[in-house]
Amino acid sequence: MTEAFIALGSNLGDAHGQVLGAFDALNKLPRTRLLDRSPLYLTPPWGVVDQPAFVNAVARIDTALSPHDLLDALLAVERAAGRVRDGERWGPRTLDLDVLHMDGVVLSDERLTLPHPRIADRAFVLLPLHALAPDLLLPGQGRVADLLATVDAAGCERLP
């Protein structure tokens, strides 16, 4: 089993419910167990700013899936939640799931880069990741707590 961290986000429909449902879906993936989940955060949109705010979170899982099999499973969960990947980057979505990090895995190919290459730039990822693993060292990027100290988290709020 390999410990992995998954980013979850939604800003269409019942975004709160989509993220909570995705935690359950992660726990039902084959050869995978949900270990922990972060608090939910309401965050401003990133990239394309003319869209609703996002609900974001991070899950910690144990999985026997390979990185690419995990990615395929996450894409299936997104599709089941109504996500249509139409090529638009950073736009609104019913559900977005990203593999952030898998222990012991450094990978870069046409489908997947691990650790996720833009973690260090994104408060909406670092805030919930910090809630679960502040001392996690991301190869090539640094320690989560140190990365969080360098980003602008204005407008991000922890949800009750």
Single out the catalytic residue among 69, 98, 121, 146: 98
pLDDT at res. 87 = 65
Single out the catalytic residue among 37, 60, 93, 122: 93
Is 96 noted as a catalytic residue in this protein? yes
The pTM of this model reads: 0.95
Could you tell me the domains of the chain?
Answer: 2-158 (3.30.70.560)
pLDDT at res. 88 = 66
Is 89 noted as a catalytic residue in this protein? no
Sign of CA dihedral 114, 70, 157, 84: positive
Residue matched to tokens 């939640």: 81
Is 24 noted as a catalytic residue in this protein? no
pLDDT at res. 138 = 98
Is 93 noted as a catalytic residue in this protein? yes
Mean pLDDT by 10 residues, the chain (160 residues): 98 96 97 98 88 97 98 96 75 92 97 96 97 98 98 96
Single out the catalytic residue among 37, 60, 96, 122: 96
- Give the residue among 113, 135, 128 at the shortest CA–CA distance from 151: 128
pLDDT at res. 91 = 72
pLDDT in tens, 133-159: 999 999 999 999 999 999 999 999 999
